[in-house]
Amino acid sequence: MDAAGSTPAPPAGEPWRSLRISILEGCSSAVFGALTGEAIATALLLALGGGDVHVGAMSALGTLATVGGLLGARAAGVVGRWKPLVVGPSLASRLSWAVAAALPFLPLTREARLWGFLALAFASSFLVNFAANPWISWMAAMVPEARRGRYFALRNTVVNAVGMSATYAVGHLVTRARAAAGGGPEVLAPFLAASLPFTLLTTWLYTRQWEPPGPREPPTPLHGMFRAAWRDPGFRRMMTFSMLWAAVCGVAGPFFMPHMLRHLGMTMRQVATYSILAGLVGLAAQPLWGRIADRAGHRPTLVFNVCAVGVLPLLWLAARPGRLWPIWLDALATGLFWPGLNLALFNLALGTAPPGYRTACLAVRSLSVGMVQAAAALLGGAIAHALEGRGAAGVNHHVLFVASSLGRFALVGLAARLSEERAQSVAGMVRMAGGAAGRLFADRLEAGWTWVRGRRLPAAAEDATETRSGS
């Protein structure tokens, strides 16, 4: 603060210069994620000789690593800044994968390689969680509240487009490399090593972003973080909704993919098509939801999309081998409605977190949601296993899908009671959404017509000139 006690004006061009850099940083991170993501990590773990126990251990360690979020929030209060808590841990997290690339070439036993890989994966995930909440608080301080919906919609759209393209390219290259050289871990190691330039680029882009001045959160002990999160009435409702939502989605979430492969007989190409179709629709829907949420409010946007995605698990009940139209309909609806839901939920969490304890409260929410989701997945697995073989093939999964759908609808009332100032009704939001969609379509149609006219006008003018000269 300046001598008068007010927050100083930001440097020229800020925060928009830094927010543009953040979009570039997100694109670099998306390419990094394509090179080190779940598919590559699991494939390398199996190529190193891992089995189900190691895959299960990697999943469990990933859940345990969410504890890093609490420590990151605690560190934010002690250090009094966000930027160093993002730059340093993020760099160390990404460098872990460059070290993992060397494992296939080190003179180690099979078990040493496997547990060394799991240790590096856990360290990377822990550091990512450590940096996540300081990054969210940093971004919340930079993005004006009235523009959060549109900005994060734009950022998510660009980053997701780059991520989809990079994931497709990496998958294609991995398939070709393994076909040419076999399935050994040495084939996958270069992809992890290729992530190093994007590690350095991402780190440099972080350092180029502005950190707003102003008051920081006080140091808060771990028990104080939980007390702060549950003491505030608005954030308490957000915590309750988030945990229940994680439970009703997590009980069925892990089983949509096995259902595609085992009970619907879908090929890997069809599964990939499902993901790409949902992703492409999501890219188109994301900017629209950003506009709607900024104008009508995040709460009605959330309520509407909770109702919409509540229907989606029921579509899977109608799917059969050779009758996959419900799956393609689900892909379209997933791309249309889930981006709006996730955007609204993210911004409501930012908006309801007490300003003096935002980082701490968001860390508690992330840990609580992660633990509930892991427990729900284990419960869903136990239910599916107990019902397997009882009735037609896939009925055990159908039970989970119905339970998830009913649970989603049961949470509509709680979503409608989340705190937000100046939010419209759901009916008002629907009317605005229809108008916004119509205007967006009209704008695109007008732009296309203008382009067509621009292409045709020179020829028309030339024809007119010839006519006049001949008369």
DSSP, residue by residue, 323-369: B-HHHHHHHHHHHHHHHHHHHHHHHHHHHHS-GGGHHHHHHHHHHHH
Q: Which candidate, 245, 229, 222, places its Cα nearest to that of 353?
A: 229
pLDDT at 74: 83
Q: How far apart are the first and last CA of the chain?
A: 76
Model's pTM, two decimal places?
A: 0.72
- Which tens digit of pLDDT belongs to each residue from 406-441? 999 999 999 999 988 877 888 888 877 776 666 655
Per residue in 104-116, pLDDT (tens digit) is 898 888 889 999 9
CA distances from 323 to 55, 188, 263 (A): 32, 36, 12
Class of domain 10-216: mainly alpha
Mean pLDDT of 36-42: 80
User: 323 φ, ψ to 5°?
Assistant: -125, 85
Evaluate if residue 290 carries a pLDDT over 70.
yes
Q: Is residue 458's pLDDT more than 50?
A: no
Question: How far apart are the C-alpha atoms of 471 and 459, rounded to whole Å?
Answer: 19
Instruction: Report which of residues 410 and 183 the model is more confident about.
Output: 410
User: What is the structure's pLDDT at 341?
Assistant: 95
Cα(297)–Cα(423) distance, integer angstroms? 4
Output the pLDDT for position 300.
93
Reduced to 3 states (helix: H, G, I; strand: E, B; else coil), residue 320 is strand
Please state which CATH number belongs to domain 220-447.
1.20.1250.20
Contact in structure between 357 and 220 (CB atoms under 8 Å):
yes
Span 324-339, mean pLDDT? 95
Question: Does residue 68 carry a pLDDT above 70?
Answer: yes
Q: Do domains 10-216 and 220-447 have the same CATH topology?
A: yes
**Percent of the chain topping pLDDT 70:** 86
- Mean pLDDT of the 112-129 span: 92
Cβ-contact 320, 287 below 8 angstroms = no
pLDDT of residue 258: 79
Q: What residue segments make up the domains of the chain, in order of their start?
A: 10-216, 220-447
Backbone φ and ψ of 304, nearest 5°: -60, -45
The CA–CA distances, whole Å, from 255 to 246, 379, 396, 404 equal 15, 12, 10, 11
d(CA 74, CA 68): 10
pLDDT mean over 37-55: 77
